[in-house]
Structure 1
Amino acid sequence: MLFLFVDGLGLGEALERLFPLLLELSPHPLDATLGVEGLPQSGTGQTALLTGENAARLLGHHQGPFPSPRLRPLLAQGLYAWAKGKGLRVLHANGYRPEYLQRATGGRRLLLSAFAQAARLAGLPLLPLGHPLALPPGFWEDPYGAGAKAAALARAFDLVVLEYWALDLAAHRHPESLRERFRELTLFLQGFLAEGGVLLLASDHGNAEEPWHPHHTRNPVPLVYTGNPLPPPPGDLTGVFPWLQTIIASKVHKSDRNT
Structure 2
Amino acid sequence: MKVIFIFLDGVGIGEKDRKANPVYATQKQVLARLIDNARFQADASMGVEGLPQSATGQTAIFTGVNAPKVLNRHLSGQPTISLKKVIYKSNIFSELVKMGYEVTSSNVYRDEYLENMLNVKDRKHRPSVTSVMSMAAGIEFRTVDEFINENGVYHDITGETLKESGYEVDTVTPKRAAQNLYRLSRNYDFILYEHFLTDIQGHKADFDEAVDLIDRLDNFFEELMKQMNFEEDVLIMTSDHGNIEDVSIHTHTMNKVPVVVLGKKAENIKTEVHSLTDIMPFVLEVFSKNG
The TM-score, its normalising length taken from structure 2, stands at 0.82
Identity fraction in percent = 29
Matches of 1:69 and 1:192 in 2, distance apart?
36
What is the CA-CA distance between 1:144 and the residue it aligns to?
A: 1.0
Match of 1:192 in 2: 224
Given that 2:152 and 2:180 are in contact with CA atoms closer than 8 Å, whether structure 1 keeps it comes out as no
The aligned length equals 252
Is 2:104 the counterpart of 1:73? no
Match of 2:113 among 83, 100, 121: 100
Unaligned runs of 5+ in 2: 16-20, 159-171
- 3-state SS of paired residue (1:130): helix
Match of 1:222 in 2: 258
Matches of 1:31 and 1:174 in 2, distance apart?
23
What is the CA-CA distance between 1:199 and the residue it aligns to?
A: 1.1
More off after superposition, 108-117 vs 65-74: 108-117
Match of 1:212 among 220, 233, 248: 248
What is the CA-CA distance between 1:24 and the residue it aligns to?
A: 2.3
More off after superposition, 23-32 vs 209-218: 23-32
Matches of 2:251 and 2:191 in 1, distance apart?
30
Matches of 2:289 and 2:32 in 1, distance apart?
27
Match of 1:134 in 2: 152
Match of 1:167 in 2: 198
Given that 2:48 and 2:69 are in contact with CA atoms closer than 8 Å, whether structure 1 keeps it comes out as yes
Matches of 2:32 and 2:111 in 1, distance apart?
37
- 3-state SS of paired residue (1:9): coil
Given that 2:205 and 2:247 are in contact with CA atoms closer than 8 Å, whether structure 1 keeps it comes out as no
Once the two structures are superposed, what CA deviation does each residue of 1:91-136 show, in whole Å capped at 9, x if it has no partner?
A: 1111011112323322336711111110111111121123143210
Amino acid at match of 2:155: P
Matches of 2:234 and 2:195 in 1, distance apart?
17
What is the CA-CA distance between 1:168 and the residue it aligns to?
A: 1.0
Given that 1:139 and 1:166 are in contact with CA atoms closer than 8 Å, whether structure 2 keeps it comes out as no
Matches of 1:17 and 1:174 in 2, distance apart?
14
Given that 1:129 and 1:135 are in contact with CA atoms closer than 8 Å, whether structure 2 keeps it comes out as no
What is the CA-CA distance between 1:174 and the residue it aligns to?
A: 6.4
What is the CA-CA distance between 1:73 and the residue it aligns to?
A: 2.1
Match of 1:30 in 2: 42
Match of 2:4 in 1: 2
Given that 2:202 and 2:247 are in contact with CA atoms closer than 8 Å, whether structure 1 keeps it comes out as yes
What is the CA-CA distance between 1:251 and the residue it aligns to?
A: 1.6
Amino acid at match of 2:245: E
Amino acid at match of 2:7: F
Given that 2:205 and 2:248 are in contact with CA atoms closer than 8 Å, whether structure 1 keeps it comes out as no
Amino acid at match of 2:174: P
Unaligned runs of 5+ in 1: 253-259
CA RMSD of aligned residues (A): 1.7
What is the CA-CA distance between 1:139 and the residue it aligns to?
A: 4.4
Is 2:61 the counterpart of 1:49? yes
- 3-state SS of paired residue (2:117): helix
Match of 1:82 in 2: 95
Given that 1:48 and 1:54 are in contact with CA atoms closer than 8 Å, whether structure 2 keeps it comes out as yes
Given that 1:149 and 1:192 are in contact with CA atoms closer than 8 Å, whether structure 2 keeps it comes out as no
